[in-house]
Amino acid sequence: MPFPEPAIHHLALPDNLTVRGAAEVKDLLLRSLKDHAATEVDVPDYAPVDLSLVQILEAARISFAEEGKLLSLARPAGASVLAVLERAGITNSMNASDKHFWLHQGETQ
């Protein structure tokens, strides 16, 4: 007898979170969107990160929401992701939902 699926799928991202690894990250998120109602993304603290990761995660947030599914980060954005968000000017214009997703601040909407 198969085991029931966990309520939240844990998705560990690969070690390369730059444009070179963008296709793999996109494919992992699309597969999770197809197969799971809720996905918690684990971004390795040691992985190199660039704006492509932020763009892919933002697109994934939209796609998951449109499907009535949940996407979250396993923990608040680490130093490397936060630096990319700051350099891109994203932290200056975050709404409550953005702060909850990226920084784990505020209430869930």
Residue ranges making up the domain that contains 91 = 9-103
In a domain? residue 93: yes
Question: What is residue 4's predicted lDDT score, i.e. its pLDDT?
Answer: 59
Reported as a pLDDT band with limits 50, 70 and 90, residue 100 is: very high
Instruction: Supply the CATH number for residue 13's domain.
Output: 3.30.750.24
Q: Return the percentage of the chain with pLDDT > 90, whole number.
A: 90
In a domain? residue 3: no
In a domain? residue 17: yes
In a domain? residue 109: no
Checking if the pLDDT of 73 tops 90, the result is: yes
Q: What is the pTM of this model?
A: 0.90
Residues 51, 53, 58, 62, Cα dihedral to 10°: 140
Q: Domain total for the chain?
A: 1
In a domain? residue 53: yes
Q: Name the CA radius of gyration of the chain, rounded.
A: 14
Phi, psi at 13, each rounded to 5°: -75, 155
